[in-house]
């Protein structure tokens, strides 16, 4: 993401309104573009084609759930691995290793879907269409990471726009009321074309490698195994309250065999999720630009060497910049969420009935806290505190799971969304406290991370060096 930050920074430095607006547009499209495109596309397909068949709705919802959660096993690790390859200028390894991750992950997805359908048998055409869509979405999420690493933002955005147009077109051409599975296959075909374009972006930037598959990434798992579970537990924490509601006897409904859903819960929560786009946008605008500059200067001072007093001063400037940027992001999101909250209470929000209001009330605040938590977690990963990120995600998942079951059992309808809000609120405040605590000790932490290559029996203590430096003043 840093490369994108550089590009956006250059636009802002030009100082023109047009380039500033373009920089903001880039931030929106990169941070939330795929989400916006897929949402609008699905809405268009369902409303324009007037699809009422439940098989399409079930397939779309569950294909996204399957692909997103299972991609969490690989996405965080792949991001780190690609960063390391770019840093070491081993660009030609990126595509072969991405293919290796896709091959391994696709097998994992296929096995998961096979197990699911062994418990919930359907006609062969539906199972094939669903599997094809889920695999294509999974591959799209994975290949998008490598595509974004090329910094070819225009082509990255174009690939998703092509998906929007082609998925609609193919759904119209292939699907019909007599053949609802054709809608699923048509949508999947549009996704398929998009991921091919992403592959071409990678080939153009990092060189060819389509004829080779590498599993060298597997050797590095021992160094970054936490990243595998960081993504998985975050997505599970995000979805576990939905699963509990889906499978509850009072609020869940079975669209088709094995495919649970909760219209009363999912619709207001989905609307709530859309409200955090400003946080995602501001994250790139501020943290990936202004903060990253301070971050880079700090680590440059550590690696190239300077006085301890100078390093401490640079560290303090970095933390100050971080807090200032976070304050702007949080303030912006609080204002937006508050406005939407007032509109919800007054009944002025479109598509929100009186039944949805109490759920959306909690959902709006829950989504806001989730956006803050995600920002903090990504910052924790900025400084490579993998164990902390994993522990936080596991705790948030456990809290959301426990409270979802407990609240639903004792409080029913009016507790829907409360577990999600509480879990991510706790995660936000605890995560922020731990992040700042570690940043205050970041010089010591980075010093202790280094391999000193000293003879056995000898060591250098950070506190002794600091005391000696103070004596020399």
Q: What is the DSSP string of 57-95?
A: HHHHHHHHHHHHHHHHHHHHHHHHHHHHHHHTT-GGGHH
Residues 297 and 438 in one domain: yes
Specify whether the CB–CB gap between 436 and 319 falls below 8 A: yes
* Domain assignment present for 411: yes
Q: For residues 6 and 3, what is the distance between their CA atoms, to the nearest angstrom? A: 5
Residue 261, beta-bridge partner list: 253
Specify whether the CB–CB gap between 81 and 97 falls below 8 A: yes
Nearest by Cα to 229 from 106, 73, 333, 436? 73
Residues 283 and 209 in one domain: no
Residues 182 and 283 in one domain: no
* Domain assignment present for 265: no
Residues 40 and 124 in one domain: yes
* Domain assignment present for 239: no
Lowest mean pLDDT across 133-137, 154-158, 419-423: 154-158
Mean pLDDT, residues 407-431 taken together: 95
* Domain assignment present for 98: yes
Residues 316 and 210 in one domain: no
Number of folded domains in the chain? 2
Q: For residues 81 and 76, what is the distance between their CA atoms, to the nearest angstrom? A: 9
For 32, the domain range is 2-214
pLDDT at 220: 85
Mean pLDDT, residues 148-167 taken together: 84
Residues 278 and 201 in one domain: no
* Domain assignment present for 233: no
* Domain assignment present for 255: no
Last residue of a domain, one of 177, 194, 214: 214
pLDDT at 460: 62
* Domain assignment present for 302: yes
Q: List the structure tokens of 329.
A: 């992001």
Residues 206 and 279 in one domain: no
Residues 26 and 163 in one domain: yes
Q: List the structure tokens of 215.
A: 């599993």
- The more confident residue out of 258 and 16 is 258
- The more confident residue out of 8 and 203 is 203
Residues 430 and 292 in one domain: yes
* Domain assignment present for 465: no
- The more confident residue out of 76 and 153 is 76
- Count of other CB atoms within 10 angstroms of residue 402: 13
Residues 183 and 279 in one domain: no
Lowest mean pLDDT across 3-12, 419-428, 438-447: 3-12
Distance from the Cα of residue 98 to its chain's centroid: 18
Band of pLDDT at residue 48, cut at 50, 70 and 90: low
Last residue of a domain, one of 214, 241, 265: 214
Q: Is the pTM of this model over 0.95?
A: no
Nearest by Cα to 450 from 307, 303, 275? 303
> DSSP label at 216?
G
State pLDDT tens for residues 183-217. 899 999 999 999 999 999 998 888 766 668 888 88
pLDDT at 457: 59
Q: Return all residues near 293 (Cβ < 8 A) that are at least 6 apart.
A: 9
Residues 283 and 135 in one domain: no
Residues 41 and 175 in one domain: yes
3-class secondary structure, 442: helix
State pLDDT tens for residues 330-369. 998 999 999 999 999 988 888 788 888 999 999 999 999 9
Specify whether the CB–CB gap between 329 and 385 falls below 8 A: no
């Amino acid at each position: 993401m840093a490369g994108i930050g550089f590009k956006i920074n250059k636009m802002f430095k030009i100082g023109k309104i047009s380039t500033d607006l373009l920089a903001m547009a880039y931030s929106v499209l990169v941070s939330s573009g795929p989400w916006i495109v897929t949402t609008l596309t699905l809405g268009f397909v369902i409303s324009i084609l007037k699809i009422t068949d439940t098989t399409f709705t079930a397939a779309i919802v569950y294909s996204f759930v399957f692909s997103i959660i299972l991609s969490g096993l690989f996405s965080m690790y792949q991001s780190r691995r690609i960063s390391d390859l770019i840093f070491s200028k081993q660009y030609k390894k990126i595509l072969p290793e991405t293919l290796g991750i896709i091959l391994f992950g696709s097998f994992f997805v296929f096995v998961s879907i096979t197990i699911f359908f062994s418990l919930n048998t359907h006609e062969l055409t539906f199972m094939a269409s669903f599997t094809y869509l889920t695999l294509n979405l999974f591959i799209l999420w994975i290949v998008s990471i490598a595509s974004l690493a090329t910094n070819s933002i225009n082509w990255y955005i174009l690939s998703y726009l092509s998906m929007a147009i082609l998925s609609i077109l193919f759904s119209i051409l292939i699907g019909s009321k007599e053949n609802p599975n054709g809608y699923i296959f048509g949508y999947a075909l549009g996704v398929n074309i998009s991921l091919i374009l992403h592959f071409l972006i990678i080939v153009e930037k990092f060189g060819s490698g389509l004829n080779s598959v590498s599993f060298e990434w597997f050797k590095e798992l021992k160094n970054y195994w936490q990243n595998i579970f960081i993504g998985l537990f975050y997505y599970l924490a995000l979805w576990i309250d939905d699963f509990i509601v889906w499978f509850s006897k009072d609020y869940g409904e079975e669209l088709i065999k094995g495919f649970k859903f909760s219209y009363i819960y999912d619709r207001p929560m989905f609307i709530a999720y859309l409200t955090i786009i400003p946080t995602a946008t501001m994250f790139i605008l501020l943290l990936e630009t202004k903060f990253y500059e301070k971050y880079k200067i700090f680590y440059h001072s550590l690696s190239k060497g300077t006085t301890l007093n100078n390093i401490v001063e640079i560290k303090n400037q970095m933390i100050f910049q971080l807090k200032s940027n976070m304050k702007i992001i949080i303030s912006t999101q609080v204002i937006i969420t508050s406005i939407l909250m007032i509109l919800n209470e007054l009944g002025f929000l479109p598509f929100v009935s009186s039944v949805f209001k109490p759920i959306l009330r909690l959902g709006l605040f829950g989504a806001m806290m989730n956006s803050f938590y995600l920002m903090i977690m990504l910052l924790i990963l900025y400084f490579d505190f993998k164990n902390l990120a994993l522990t936080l995600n596991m705790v948030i998942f456990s809290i959301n799971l426990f409270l979802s079951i407990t609240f639903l059992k004792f409080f029913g309808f009016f507790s829907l969304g409360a577990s999600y809000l509480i879990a991510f609120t706790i995660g936000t405040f605890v995560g922020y406290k731990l992040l700042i605590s570690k940043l205050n000790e970041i010089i010591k932490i980075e010093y202790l991370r280094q391999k000193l290559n000293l003879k056995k029996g000898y060591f250098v203590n950070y506190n002794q060096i600091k005391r000696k430096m103070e004596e020399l003043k």
